[in-house]
Structures are given as C-alpha cells and as structure tokens.
Structure 1
Amino acid sequence: MAGLRERKKQQTRQHISDVATRLFLERGFVTVTVAEVADAADVSVNTVYNYFPAKEDLFFDREEEVVDLPSRRVRERGPGQSAADALLGGLRQDVEERSSRVGLQGGYDRFLQVIQAAPTLQSRLMGMQIRMSGRLAETLRGEAGAGPDDHTPEVVAGQLMLLYGIAFRTVAHGTAEGASEDDIARLLLEKLDTLERLYGDEVRGYLRRPA
C-alpha cells in the first residue's frame, strides 16, 4: 500500500507540474497565479503548496535532480575515469542525444523567455548554479578524503563548473539567434573539446579511478 500511495503522490505532483509548466509557457510566470494552476489541475491551492512550497518550485520542478547531476556523474564514474572525464563524457552524451538537460529540445526558446521575464526565476536559477557548484565541491572533497584545509576540491569544482556555464550560454545564445539544434550541438562539442584541451593535467586527472 505504501508503494501505491507513493506512486499516486508522484503522479499528482507530476500532473500539477505539467499543468503549471503549460500555463507558464503560454502566459508567462508572473501573470499566472498558484490559484489558477490549482484550478487548471483540479486540485486545491493547499494541495499545490503541499507539493510545491514556492511558486518557483512549480517552474523548476526538477531542481534537485539538476543540482545533483554533476555530483552524481562523479560518484558514478567508471574505472579509469577522472571527475573531469565523467562530466565531459556526460555532457557530450547529453549533446549527442539532444537531451533536455542541455536545452537541445523544441520549445527551449520559450522556456528561456519565461525566465528572462521573471526576476525571481533568474535569482532562483543563479541559486541553483551556486548550489550545484557547492555540492560538486563537497562530492569531490568526500571522494578525495580531503581535509578542511585542502582547497583543491573547491578549486577543481570551480574549473569543472565552467563546462556547464559554457553549455548554458552556448545553447541559450544559439537558440536566441534561431540556430538549428544540430548547429548548436556542433558548436558546443567544439567548445567542450577546447576546454578539455586547456585544462591542466591536475584538473583532467583529478580523482581518476584505477582502471
């Protein structure tokens, strides 16, 4: 029964999120109220807040997954892979698969427009990027068994986060310019290759697992 209840809760959460996303993309984040989301999803306002404590949570409903992605890829790196290998490999795979994780999907231009028109979403996005970097640093520190006076994990995390900054800017700029997904993907892969080449040996080899 517990499993069934949990599945129903997840279905309700996803339904509310899907309805909210549709309304935000159609009308903008600022103009849509939580009450309107609740009405369109056929639930109470309290139910919406039970699943999404803040209105911004409705828009960034996968925030925790996004924040944890670089850390998860480091934790799950394979034999012979370094932290940089894991993140570069994951990003390249996302690009090649035209994954929504890097914005290579139809409708991403409207998604960006909604964010640009809502200061609270811009602030939330910045906060997510800070959390992502901080969590990656914590993951690297834990994996390395580094002490509190060792600044290497934090510095390496900052270097590796450049990958995600470049990916976001490249896709956002290309989308705004009307470039095709294939052209954006090609350009992004070229930039990832350049950044990998410019990384020093210590960053490229940090936390390499034995083959």
Structure 2
Amino acid sequence: MATGLRELKKQQTRQAISNAATRLFIERGFEAVTITEIAAAAQVAKMTVTNYFPRKEDLALDYHQTFAPSLARTVADRSAGESALAALRREFLAGVERHDAVIGFSSQGFARMISDSPTLTARLRDLHDQREDALAQVLATDTASAPGDLTARAAAALLGAAHRTLFEHIMDLTRQGQSNRQIASTVTRSAHQVFGLLETSLADYAMR
C-alpha cells in the first residue's frame, strides 16, 4: 500500500510539473521560460523538475517515451496475416478516433508553441528519427534481413515519412483553429490517401 501511494505521489508531482511548464510555454514561448520559473509555478524545487525531466524539451513533449517506440510496437504486435503497412494504418486510424497526441492531436496554443520554437521543432524531428530507427530494427528482425540488406531500413523510412506527413498535417490543421472532430474527418481521408501510396511496394511486406 505504501509503495502504491508513493508511486501515485510521484505521478501527481510529475503531472503537476508538466502542466505548469506547458502553461508557461504556451503563454510566453518555450525559449523564454526557465526551469526555475517552472519549479516555482509547480511549487517544487528546481532539482525536482530536473529529476523528472532531465531535458527541458521533454517538459513540452512529455509523450516522448511513448512516441519513439510507437511504430515499432504496433508492428511487433500485429496480428497473424497482417502486414506492417496494414497494422500501422489500422493503428493510425484508431489514433485518429481517439484524437491521440502521439499522432499529432493537441490544442491550438500547443501546436503554435511547437512551431514557434526552433528547439522544440528540432527535438520533434529527432523523435521522428528515433521512431523510424526503432521501426527499422523490428522490421529487420521480423523479416530476418541479411547483413547489408537495406530493405527494412528503406521500408521504415517510407512508413516513417507517411506518419511524419500526417503528423504535420494534423498540426497544421490545429494551428488553423479547426476542432478535433473536423481534423479527424479530414485526416481520415488523408490517411487513406497517404498509406494508399505505399500499397504497391509494401502491401505484402513483413506479413505475419
């Protein structure tokens, strides 16, 4: 029971820090806010902030631990008879229905905060790269790729590019002020179009 309470307290503290940071970043811009100011707003010590969030960027992009392995996890968990492309399309469309932050859904203020910050834009690009790398590793393992075979890397690049394109599309629509419902309707059509472009080359690739 004591362990459960401690973990709950840690989660609450982490969330309080993240909420305070996001509010300040949206109000004043990412680069203008200091860790000291975040600590004061969250009513914790500065060291507490850095213990939970070693990188300032991760205070804004708090989903990084879920984001980076997301495509690899979807492919690793795909059903029998399902290709990598089919699994990723299915999960993306499910994410659209959930208005999932991992595929790009957010508030207008948050989306503008990201695009207005060179630091956060670079960090997001790095997370997309990490996600693609993780996907390539899973594809190489599942298809028993021979050393030097670039098929898995090329497939991951194509699938990763599809997700980047759709992520940026969602962010653009969010910055324009469209509601999540409007965005979901538009992006569902866009997803079928984008993933459809990969059918010819990847429809049967990495079939389980």
| TM-score computed with the length of structure 2 as normaliser | 0.90
Per-residue displacement from partner, 1:82-138 (whole Å, max 9, x unpaired)? 111111001111112322333345x2x211211222211111111111111111111
Which residue matches 2:198?
A: 199
**Which residues in structure 2 correspond to 1:21-40 (within 5 Å)?**
21-40=22-41
The residue type equivalent to 2:63 in the other structure is R
Say which SS state the counterpart of residue 203 (structure 2) adopts. helix
Which residue matches 1:117?
A: 116
How far did residue 144 of structure 1 move? 1.7
How far did residue 2 of structure 1 move? 4.5
Which residue matches 2:101?
A: 100
The residue type equivalent to 2:42 in the other structure is A
Which residue matches 2:13?
A: 12
Which residue matches 1:54?
A: 55
How far did residue 26 of structure 1 move? 2.2
Do 1:34 and 1:48's aligned partners in 2 also have CA atoms closer than 8 Å? yes
How far did residue 163 of structure 1 move? 2.2
Q: How far apart, in 2, do the equivalents of 1:144 and 1:193 lie?
A: 25
Matched length: 207
RMSD (CA atoms): 1.9
**Which residues in structure 2 correspond to 1:114-153 (within 5 Å)?**
114-153=113-152
Q: How far apart, in 2, do the equivalents of 1:35 and 1:149 lie?
A: 48
The residue type equivalent to 1:30 in the other structure is E
Do 1:196 and 1:204's aligned partners in 2 also have CA atoms closer than 8 Å? no
How far did residue 177 of structure 1 move? 3.1
Which residue matches 2:75?
A: 74
Give the gaps of 5 or more residues in structure 1.
none
| TM-score computed with the length of structure 1 as normaliser | 0.88
Give the gaps of 5 or more residues in structure 2.
none
Q: How far apart, in 2, do the equivalents of 1:6 and 1:178 lie?
A: 37
CA 1:151 to 1:194, structure 2 compared with 1: closer, same or farther past 3 Å?
Answer: same
How far did residue 44 of structure 1 move? 0.6
CA 1:199 to 1:52, structure 2 compared with 1: closer, same or farther past 3 Å?
Answer: same
Q: Which of 128-137 and 12-21 deviates more?
A: 12-21
Per-residue displacement from partner, 1:28-61 (whole Å, max 9, x unpaired)? 2122111111111111111111111121121112
The residue type equivalent to 1:140 in the other structure is L
* Percentage of identical aligned residues: 36
The residue type equivalent to 1:22 in the other structure is R
The residue type equivalent to 1:94 in the other structure is G
Do residues 83 (structure 1) and 84 (structure 2) align? yes
Do 1:170 and 1:184's aligned partners in 2 also have CA atoms closer than 8 Å? no
Q: How far apart, in 2, do the equivalents of 1:131 and 1:99 lie?
A: 19
How far did residue 70 of structure 1 move? 0.7
Q: How far apart, in 2, do the equivalents of 1:181 and 1:57 lie?
A: 24
Say which SS state the counterpart of residue 177 (structure 2) adopts. coil
